């Protein structure tokens, strides 16, 4: 059974936050520091402030977890021309075909090379 995990893009701070929990309409952010664990509670899940992404349960060839919003590079065919895919919303039926394409290919040929928030320039190269 895959672990249910989330991360969130903080739109205002322009940074990725890992170790995020979603509870009803709120967001709980756990921040690990050298000396303690801080927990921040955001009462309403406002999509203008945070873009929440779910873990797919898959890992790339380097063992990196693949989340919604990740851009993955697939190099398998001859000639070795890379194909780039964006992992989209796992709850949207129309976007599931991208995840199905990724699952149907060997994970040993997949590599997370960025995400749509930190690396928007890669979107121009995706399928």
| Phi, psi dihedrals of residue 65, rounded to the nearest 5° | -70, 140
Tokens of 111: 């590599």
How is the beta sheet containing 70-74 ordered, strand by strand? Answer: 83-86, 70-74, 110-115
> Is the whole model's pTM more than 0.85, yes or no?
no
- Mean pLDDT, consecutive 10-residue segments, the chain of 127 residues? 83 86 71 60 68 87 91 73 69 52 69 92 78
User: For tokens 């664990």, what's the residue?
Assistant: 37
**Cα distance between residue 65 and residue 57, in whole Å:** 7
pLDDT value, residue 93: 43
**Cα distance between residue 4 and residue 70, in whole Å:** 16
What single string gives the DSSP state of each residue in the chain? Answer: -----EEEEETTTTEEEEEEEEETTEEEEEEE-SS-EEEEEESS--TTTEEEEEEEEEE-TTSPEEETTEEEEE--SSS---EEEE---TT-GGGHHHHHHHHHS-GGGEEEEEETTT-GGGGGG--
pLDDT value, residue 117: 94
- Residue (of 115, 109, 86) closest to 99 by Cα position: 86
pLDDT in tens, 13-36: 898 988 788 777 666 666 665 555
């Amino acid at each position: 059974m895959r672990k249910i995990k989330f991360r969130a893009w903080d739109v205002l701070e322009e940074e990725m936050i890992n170790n995020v929990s979603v509870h009803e309409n709120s967001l709980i952010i756990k921040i690990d520091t050298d000396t303690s664990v801080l927990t921040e509670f955001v009462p309403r899940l406002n999509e203008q402030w945070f873009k929440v992404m779910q873990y797919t349960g898959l890992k790339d060839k380097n063992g990196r977890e693949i989340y919604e919003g990740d851009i993955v590079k697939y190099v398998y065919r001859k000639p070795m021309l890379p194909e780039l895919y964006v992992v989209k919303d796992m709850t949207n039926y129309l976007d599931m075909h991208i995840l199905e394409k990724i699952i149907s290919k060997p994970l040993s040929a997949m590599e997370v090379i960025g995400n749509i928030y930190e690396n928007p320039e890669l979107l121009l190269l995706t399928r």
